[in-house]
Amino acid sequence: MRITLGLDSTSLSRRYPRLAILATLFMAFGLPLGLYVAALAVFPLNTPERLDAMAEQWLGYDLAGSPYRYIVYTAFLLLVAFIAVNYTAVFGGVSTWVERRVAGRMQSRIGPNRPGAAGFLSWVADAVKMILKEDTIPAEADHLLFRAAPYFSMVGLLLPFVVLPFGEATVVTDMNVGVFYVAAASAFVVVGILVSGWASNSKWALFGGIRGAAQVMSYEIPAGIAMMVPVLMAGTLSMQGIVRAQGGWPWQWFVFQNPAAFVAFFIAVTASLAEGNRTPFDLPEAESELVAGYHAEYSGFRLAIFLMVEWANMWIMAGLAVTLFLGGWQVPGYGAEDYARLLGTGLLPAPGWFGLQLLSMLMFVVKTWALVFVFIWLRWTLPRVRVDQMMSLCWKYLVPGAFLCFVVTLVWQLLVPPAGVAFTGYALTALALFVLAKFAVATRRNISKVAGHRVDLGNW
Amino acid sequence: MNTQFAIFVFLALATLIGAASVALSRNIFWSAMGLLSCLVGVGGLYVMLSADFVAITQLLVYIGGVLVLILFAIMLTSQIQEISVSNRSVGLVGGYLIFFVVSTLLSFVALWAPWRLTSKEPVANTTVALGDGLLGTWLLPFEIASVLLVATLVGAIVIARKEVKSDS
Amino acid sequence: MAQGIRAYFGHITDVVTTFWEGLSVTLSYMLRRPITVQYPDRVEKRVADTLPPRYRGILEVDTAVCTGCMACERACPIGVIKISTDKDPGNPKQRVITQFDIDVGKCMFCGLCVEPCPTGAIAHTREFEATRKHVDSLVFRWVPDPAKPVPFYRPVKGQDAPRAPVGEILRRCLAAASWIERPSFLPEERKP
C-alpha cells in the first residue's frame, strides 16, 4: 500500500520501476563488462611492434619509422591506464555497496536499498556526495604534503594493475619480476599513509600513520615469503608464468598441490589483509581510538581517494591470492594449446578466441569476487586486534610459519614425484570440499538452533 | 635528442634534486621526501639499464623498507622543523674539505674510467642470471653476507629484549 | 619448554576453532531474514495499525460526545489544550463549544487529559504521522469553524456515550490535509 508522507529519494525509481532496474543492470553489469571488453581489446595490442603491424596493415602507414611513434604509443598507454583507473573506481564503488549490504544482513539489518534496484546505485550517490563536498585543509597542516598524500596512495594502488592478469591475454604487461613488483609497489600506499598522517598535523592522524607504518613493514615479511611459495612451485616470478603453471581444475591449483602451499595461502591472505589495513587489522584508522586515523583531517574528494584506495585494494589482495594460489584465469578443460589454436596466425584472432578470453576473465573475476566476499565476511565477524596482538601474530606465528612453508616447499619440489603431487591435489581438494560441507552443516544448524528461524533471503 | 635521453635526463634530475634536498632541506620530513624522489630516480635508472630485478629490489628495499623506517623514526622525533641538522663538530672547513676531496674523486672516476657502453637491448630476464650468480659463482660472499645479517638480527634482538627476572 | 610449545600450538587451534564458530554464526545470520521494518513505504500494513492498542499517539477529540467540562484543559500540565465555550445564540439554555484546539507540537503524550474525560471524547490514537510545513499547523482545531459551534453533549444515565471508533476521525482529517498534494501557495489549512 502507498502512504504519502514526504518526498523520498526513490520517487523517480518508483514511478518508473523498469527504468530503475535497467539503470541498475547497466551500472552493475554493463559498466564492468564494457571495461573488461575494452581491456580485452586494448591490452593485447599494447606493444610497439603490434601497433606498428596494425598501422602497416590497415592504414598503410609506416609507424615504425615515423617520428610520432612514441606519441602514438604513449597515447595507447594512457588509454590502458584510463581503463585500469576506471575499473578501480567502479570496483571500489561496487564493493562498498556489497560490503554494506552483506554487513547489514549479517547484523539482521538491510543496508542501503533505495537508490536504484536493490540500492545498487548508492555508491554512485556516495561518490557524487564526496566530490561535491568542500575540500578543507587544516590551517596548521603542511599544505603541499597534505595535498600530495592521496596521490601516493593512489599510485600504490594502481601500480599492481600493470602486472595483474585478468585473462590469458588481458594483462597490461607480463613482467619477468611480476610478483616482486607487486610486493614493491604496495610500499607507496604506506608512504601515502605516513605522509598523510604527518602532514595533517593532528595527533590522531600521526598515531594512525605510525601504526600503519609499523604494521605494513612487519607484515611485508610474511606476505613476501608466503608469496615465494608459488614462485618456487612455478619456477618463475612472472604472474602469467605462475598462472600457466597451474590448471583450471581445483586440484591443479597451487593451493592444493602441496600442504605447505595450503598453509602459505592462509598466511599470505592474512598478511595481505594486514598490509591493506582491512579489519581485523584496521589499526591505522581505528575509529574507536583514533577518530579515523590517518585520514581524520581529510574531506571531500581527497577522502574519497583514500576510501577508494582502501576498498579497491581488496581487488589487488584478492586478485593476487587468486593468481598465485587459486589458478588465476585458467578455464577448466582448456589448455595453452587451445588458446594458441584459436589465436591463429593472422593479425586478428578468430571470434572463438575472444569468447575463450572472456571466459577466462570471467573465471578470474568470479574467483576474485568470492575472495573479496570472504574478506568482507571476515571484517564483519572479527573484532579489531590490539597493537601487541597484531605484532605477536606477525612475528611469532606468521613469520616462522611462512619460513617453514618456504623450506617445506623447497624439499617438496626436490623430493616428491609428479604422481605424488597429483595425488596431493586430489586429496587436498577432497579435504577442502569436506570441510566446506561440514561448515555448511554447522551454519545450517546455527540457523535452526533458534526456534522459528529459517533460511530466508527475503526483505530486500 | 631522443626519447630515451629525455627520460634519462628526467630521472637523473629527479635523483639529483632529491639528493640535494636531502642535504639542504630545513625540515627532516622534507628531506625524507627528497630521499624518496632520489631512490625512485635511481630505480628508474636501473630500469633504463635493463636491470629489472635490481630496480624492483631498489623499490622494495629502499622505499618499502628503509624510507618507511626513516619516516617512522621521524614521526617519533619531536622538534623536526626549522632546526639546523648539519654536524657542528667538524665545522665548515672540514665539510668543504670532504666535499672537494670526494667530488674530485668522483669526477675523476666518472671521466676517466673505461665505461663499457653496451648497445640498447630490451629488458631480458635477469633474475635467472642473478640467481645463478648468487648461488654459484658468488656463493661464499653471499653466505658470509647472510651470516653477517643474521648476527645483526640476533644482536638487535638481544639488545632490545627485556631481561627475564631469574629469581622467580 | 614443553608447556610453551603446547601453549603456542594451542593458540593456533584456538584461532581455527573460534574462526570456524564465528564465521559460521555471521554467515548463518546473513541467510536469515533481516528484522528491519522498511518504514514508511515498504510495509505490508500501516505501521500505525500494528502498534499496541494502548499506544499514546496523537490526541483525537470526538466533539459529538464532548460535555464541555474542560477537565482535560485543567489536567494538561503544559497548556496544550485550549477550549472556549459560549451560549448558543438561538437557544440560551444550550451551551456550545466554539473552540477546541490541541497543539500537537507541544503535546508530550502523557495521557493526563484522557483520564478525567467522562465520555471518552478525548483519546489517544495510534496515529503518529502528522508532518506539517509549519509548526503552527500542528494546532489541530477540533471545532474547525467558530461560527459553527458544537453543542455540549448530555450524558444519558446507564448508557455509554456513542463515541466514534478511536482514530477514525483523525485519520480522515490527516488524509484530507496531507500537505504533499497541497500546493504551497494555498493558505495554510485550518482543519486539523
pLDDT tens track for A114-164: 777 777 888 888 888 888 888 888 887 778 888 888 888 888 888 888 888
Q: What per-residue confidence (pLDDT) applies to A9?
A: 45
- Total number of domains constituting chain C: 2
- Residue identified by cell 622505499 is B63
Do C5 and C99 fall within a single domain?
no
Do C26 and C118 fall within a single domain?
no
* C186 domain-assigned: no
Across A43-52, A436-445, B68-77, C113-122, least confident range = A43-52
Do C14 and C63 fall within a single domain?
no
* C28 domain-assigned: yes
A77: helix, coil or strand? Answer: helix
| Subunit contact A456:C33, Cβ cutoff 8 A | yes
Say if residues C59 and C107 touch (Cβ distance below 8 Å): yes
Q: What per-residue confidence (pLDDT) applies to A6?
A: 39
Q: What is the mean pLDDT of residues A68-91?
A: 82
Do C151 and C84 fall within a single domain?
yes
* C41 domain-assigned: no
- Kindly tell me if the per-residue pLDDT of A26 is higher than 90: no
Contact residues on chain B for A191, CB-CB shorter than 8 A: 36, 63, 67-68, 71
Instruction: Give every CB contact of residue A38 below 8 A, 6+ residues apart in sequence.
Output: A83
- Kindly tell me if the per-residue pLDDT of A42 is higher than 80: no
Q: What per-residue confidence (pLDDT) applies to B151?
A: 94
A363-398 burial, b at 16+ Cβ within 10 Å, e below that, comes to bbbebbbebbbebbbbbbbbebbeeeebeebbeebb
- Kindly tell me if the per-residue pLDDT of C18 is higher than 60: yes
Q: What per-residue confidence (pLDDT) applies to C185?
A: 46
Do C102 and C144 fall within a single domain?
yes
Do C25 and C104 fall within a single domain?
no
* C98 domain-assigned: yes
List chains adjacent to chain B, taking adjacency as at least 3 C-beta pairs closer than 8 Å. A
Q: Which set of grid coordinates corresponds to residue A62? A: 609506416
For residue range A70-80, list pLDDT tens digits in order.
777 788 888 88
Q: What angle do CA A54, A55, A59 make, to 5 degrees?
A: 115
Contact of B131 with chain A, judged by CB distance below 8 Å, is answered with no
* C67 domain-assigned: yes
Q: What is the mean pLDDT of residues B58-63?
A: 85
Do C76 and C139 fall within a single domain?
yes
Do C60 and C95 fall within a single domain?
yes
Q: What is the mean pLDDT of residues A30-37?
A: 79
Do C57 and C91 fall within a single domain?
yes
Instruction: Give the model's confidence band at A3: pLDDT under 50 very low, under 70 low, under 90 confident, else very high.
Output: very low
Domain hosting residue C15, numbered range: 1-35
- The residue type found at A218 is S
* C124 domain-assigned: yes
Residue in C12, C27, C38 closest to A443 by CB: C27
Interface residue ranges in chain A relative to chain C, Cβ cutoff 8 Å: 1-8, 10, 14, 102, 104-110, 113, 377-378, 380-382, 396-397, 439, 442-444, 446-447, 453-459
A68: helix, coil or strand? Answer: coil
- Kindly tell me if the per-residue pLDDT of B76 is higher than 80: no
- Kindly tell me if the per-residue pLDDT of A239 is higher than 50: yes
Backbone angles phi, psi at B103, to 5 degrees: -70, -35
Q: Which set of grid coordinates corresponds to residue B100? A: 672537494
Do C66 and C13 fall within a single domain?
no
Q: What per-residue confidence (pLDDT) applies to C87?
A: 83
- Kindly tell me if the per-residue pLDDT of A4 is higher than 50: no
Chains C and A touch (3+ CB pairs under 8 A): yes
| Subunit contact B68:A198, Cβ cutoff 8 A | no
Say if residues A213 and B72 touch (Cβ distance below 8 Å): yes
- Kindly tell me if the per-residue pLDDT of A350 is higher than 90: no
Q: What per-residue confidence (pLDDT) applies to C181?
A: 47
- Kindly tell me if the per-residue pLDDT of C191 is higher than 70: no
For residue range A412-435, list pLDDT tens digits in order.
888 888 888 888 888 888 999 999
Across A253-262, B8-17, B126-135, least confident range = B126-135
Among A377, A446, A456, the residue to mutate for chain C (most C Cβ within 10 A) = A446
Q: What per-residue confidence (pLDDT) applies to B145?
A: 92
Do C18 and C113 fall within a single domain?
no
| Subunit contact C31:A457, Cβ cutoff 8 A | yes
Q: What per-residue confidence (pLDDT) applies to A55?
A: 73
For residue range A283-313, list pLDDT tens digits in order.
777 777 777 778 888 888 888 888 888 888 8
- Is the predicted ipTM greater than 0.90, yes or no? no
Contact of B19 with chain A, judged by CB distance below 8 Å, is answered with no
Q: What is the mean pLDDT of residues B73-85?
A: 67
pTM attached to this predicted model: 0.80
Closest alpha carbon to A410 in C31, C23, A402, C12 = A402
- Kindly tell me if the per-residue pLDDT of C186 is higher than 70: no
Do C171 and C104 fall within a single domain?
yes
* C132 domain-assigned: yes
Residue in A70, A177, A220 closest to B64 by CB: A220
List chains adjacent to chain A, taking adjacency as at least 3 C-beta pairs closer than 8 Å. B, C
- Kindly tell me if the per-residue pLDDT of A250 is higher than 90: no
- The residue type found at A39 is A
Q: In chain C, whose CA is at the least distance from the CA of A113? A: C38
Q: What angle do CA A412, A415, A420 make, to 5 degrees?
A: 75
- Kindly tell me if the per-residue pLDDT of A344 is higher than 60: yes
Tell me the C-alpha distance between A296 and A443, whole Å. 38
Instruction: Give the model's confidence band at C112: pLDDT under 50 very low, under 70 low, under 90 confident, else very high.
Output: very high
Q: What is the mean pLDDT of residues A86-96?
A: 87
Percent of chain A with pLDDT over 70: 93
Mean pLDDT across chain B: 81
Contact of A70 with chain B, judged by CB distance below 8 Å, is answered with yes
Q: What per-residue confidence (pLDDT) applies to B78?
A: 66
Where is A123: in which H helix or E strand?
helix A122-132
Classify the phi-psi angles of C186: left when phi > 0, otherwise alpha if psi is within -120 to 50, otherwise beta: beta
Among A443, A445, A454, the residue to mutate for chain C (most C Cβ within 10 A) = A443
- The residue type found at A392 is S
End-to-end, the C-alpha distance of chain B in Å comes to 76
- Kindly tell me if the per-residue pLDDT of A10 is higher than 70: no
Q: What per-residue confidence (pLDDT) applies to A203?
A: 82
Say if residues A342 and A353 touch (Cβ distance below 8 Å): yes
Q: What angle do CA C174, C176, C181 make, to 5 degrees?
A: 105
Q: DSSP assignment, residue A181?
A: H
* C184 domain-assigned: no
Instruction: Report helix angle A351-379 to A300-325, nearest 10.
Output: 110
Percent of chain C with pLDDT over 70: 91
Q: What per-residue confidence (pLDDT) applies to A370?
A: 92
Q: What per-residue confidence (pLDDT) applies to B104?
A: 92
Q: Which set of grid coordinates corresponds to residue B69? A: 623506517
Q: What is the mean pLDDT of residues A356-363?
A: 84
Mean pLDDT across chain A: 82
Q: Which set of grid coordinates corresponds to residue A455? A: 533460511
- Chain B nearest-CA distance from A440, in A, is 41
Classify the phi-psi angles of A328: left when phi > 0, otherwise alpha if psi is within -120 to 50, otherwise beta: left
**CATH number for the domain including C107?**
3.30.70.3270
- Kindly tell me if the per-residue pLDDT of C184 is higher than 60: no
